[in-house]
Structure 1
């Protein structure tokens, strides 16, 4: 067992047992929402249709590339937990997936990424221009679906999330390669860039069920804190995960000069020489083949990966507590267990 795997656990449960339980959490959620997700997937296929052949071809490449559909599953589970029995949650779940896919297409262009989920990114196959434009097409489809639900509040939540996500991208771009980034500043970026869609996905589940008060606020909190925890684990995995299960190369964030929480912590805790290393490799972009290994060694020396996971556990605990106002149900249990999956996952 690696040190990183021990840090992720933080408990005495054997690694394989813990992973098995987490995978069961995902399977439990998938089983609960399976029928609804079949409808969501069919709806997505219908609404990707276009007279321009490249549009459905490129969109399908990413949508069908093996993602767990976590965000739309959150919308379905949240709405069902709140007692919703109509059909508009299908449209909202599809909306969330279209928004997520659009942001991935745009992200890969901005980050100049070559791989996603183990396959070549759309920009590598069709080019940057096509990726951006099809992302715009999917956002247009998403807004049309929002309107079809005739829920002004759901439209407000999701449209606000779209603008916040874009702001997060700009914030990240402005802070790119800035080793002086503080932890608070970085958390603001991921709350906008990642957590905003998680929180919107869960909050609209309550709204469509007519729960516009305390329960909607609780699900917004659940989604937001789950999203923060999810991204922090991603940050740690980029330096301590496995390429085969990550669906990308370990160290991609480092090679792209991204400032993530493990870097922020290692930089702040490092010596003058170590800070000079981070400035050279990330700020100035001068990297050798051995620098990634040095970066990981420094993170381990200063507990940067372990503490990133601890931060994730903190936000995960807030997410779980947010669900406490709901009566016990299979959906509440599945959403609770999902938090542990997101923190303990190795991919």
Structure 2
């Protein structure tokens, strides 16, 4: 179920992360080896749960951004591999915790860890991965990098709690929702991008540029995901189309539709989101209301806006293959809805 979106330009529809994958391939091979090594434990359940999610086909975009950002400024040591692995572990831990909080059954097209091993195992293995991430940060020996990633971990946790506050709350404003995704999603993208220039001893202006790039890429990425839930396919999403709706999640398409709707339409949203009257017929109606009020198109418009801010953040930097690849990542992110 869902509608087909076609609201991007042809140029951006051809965007790819292939240049980023190619530039970071050698280092990502080392990251993948380190992931498998650090996910190991004598406690049998830990590597079993960790590898279930680690091997489930994610793009590994965040660690690739860390590697490329370090390469962009001529870094030639080994620390970027440990930091990229730390970033991926933080992301994986967040997914394990998210699936418990959201009671999600599918992740990237596979059963979530919580449906196989239960909520307790998912939370505790997530905690283990966070612990391993911080051990690797300490091994790197950069207090600045440790500060950036540990601050991100705290902000992500705050975002999770903020999300509980807006859950099923249709009075959530767009600004409040953006604050949630800035914490939950953008904070890790931002940290992933900034630690590269930090260990490469780049200037403060360069660090700020990568930090802004990561923040705004993360906001764009999440808003595209929000739109795809109502206009993508299960294959694209790695979950069922309309899962956000069925779980009663208040995302930007819902916020815009609710605020722009009539009293009768707002009553429908309250039944669907607050009272869980969210069967297939209700989803069809929700899609119709979103189309009527331009909610999905405007969500993508917001994503494009943040994508342009990310693009402008990198504009003053000298042209390198890494810069070109990271700019194309922005186009790729938006092109997922074309």
TM-score by structure 1 length?
A: 0.95
- Judged with a 3 Å threshold, the aligned counterparts in structure 2 of structure 1 residues 51 and 162 are, in CA distance, closer, same or farther, namely same
1:79·1:206 contact (CA, 8 Å) conserved in 2?
yes
Q: Give 1:68's aligned residue.
A: 59
Q: Give 1:189's aligned residue.
A: 180
Runs ≥4 residues deviating over 6 A:
none
1:39 aligns with 2:30: yes
Q: CA deviation at 1:193?
A: 0.4
1:126 aligns with 2:78: no
Q: What secondary structure sits across from 1:233 in the alignment? A: helix
TM-score by structure 2 length?
A: 0.97
Q: What secondary structure sits across from 2:280 in the alignment? A: coil
1:207·1:216 contact (CA, 8 Å) conserved in 2?
yes
Q: CA deviation at 1:346?
A: 4.6
Q: Give 1:5's aligned residue.
A: 5
**In 1: Cα distance, 2:132 partner to 2:234 partner:** 33
Q: CA deviation at 1:3?
A: 7.2
Equivalent pairs, count: 337
**In 2: Cα distance, 1:52 partner to 1:3 partner:** 45
**In 2: Cα distance, 1:327 partner to 1:317 partner:** 18
2:245·2:278 contact (CA, 8 Å) conserved in 1?
no
Q: Give 1:239's aligned residue.
A: 230
Q: Give 1:309's aligned residue.
A: 300
| Per-residue Cα deviation, 1:147-172 (whole angstroms, up to 9, x for no partner) | 00100000000000001000000000
**In 1: Cα distance, 2:35 partner to 2:279 partner:** 44
| Per-residue Cα deviation, 1:14-41 (whole angstroms, up to 9, x for no partner) | xxx754x22xx31111000000000110
Q: Give 1:199's aligned residue.
A: 190
Q: What secondary structure sits across from 1:181 in the alignment? A: coil
**In 1: Cα distance, 2:297 partner to 2:280 partner:** 24
Q: Please, which of 267, 284, 302 is the counterpart of residue 293 of structure 1?
A: 284
Q: CA deviation at 1:183?
A: 0.3
Q: CA deviation at 1:82?
A: 1.3
1:242·1:346 contact (CA, 8 Å) conserved in 2?
no
Q: Give 1:53's aligned residue.
A: 44
RMSD of the TM alignment (CA)? 1.3
**In 2: Cα distance, 1:76 partner to 1:3 partner:** 36
Q: What are the ranges of 5 or more consecutive residues in structure 1 without an aligned counterpart?
A: none
1:4·1:305 contact (CA, 8 Å) conserved in 2?
no
Q: What are the ranges of 5 or more consecutive residues in structure 2 without an aligned counterpart?
A: none
Q: CA deviation at 1:71?
A: 0.3
Q: What secondary structure sits across from 2:236 in the alignment? A: helix
**In 2: Cα distance, 1:68 partner to 1:177 partner:** 30
Q: CA deviation at 1:219?
A: 0.3
Q: CA deviation at 1:319?
A: 0.2
1:179·1:259 contact (CA, 8 Å) conserved in 2?
yes
Q: CA deviation at 1:286?
A: 2.6
Q: What secondary structure sits across from 2:241 in the alignment? A: coil
Q: CA deviation at 1:98?
A: 0.3
Q: Give 1:142's aligned residue.
A: 133
| Per-residue Cα deviation, 1:237-270 (whole angstroms, up to 9, x for no partner) | 0000011222110000000000000001001110
Q: What secondary structure sits across from 1:5 in the alignment? A: coil
Greater RCO (Cα-Cα under 8 Å, separation 6 or more): 2
1:98·1:142 contact (CA, 8 Å) conserved in 2?
yes
Q: Give 1:116's aligned residue.
A: 107
Q: CA deviation at 1:333?
A: 0.2
Q: CA deviation at 1:287?
A: 2.8
Q: CA deviation at 1:4?
A: 4.7
1:78·1:219 contact (CA, 8 Å) conserved in 2?
yes
Q: CA deviation at 1:49?
A: 1.2
**In 2: Cα distance, 1:136 partner to 1:185 partner:** 28
| Per-residue Cα deviation, 1:210-258 (whole angstroms, up to 9, x for no partner) | 1250110110000000000000000000000011222110000000000
**In 2: Cα distance, 1:239 partner to 1:289 partner:** 12
- Judged with a 3 Å threshold, the aligned counterparts in structure 2 of structure 1 residues 49 and 3 are, in CA distance, closer, same or farther, namely closer
Q: Where does 1:96-115 land on structure 2 (aligned, <5 Å)?
A: 96-115=87-106
**In 1: Cα distance, 2:240 partner to 2:63 partner:** 26
1:214 aligns with 2:205: yes
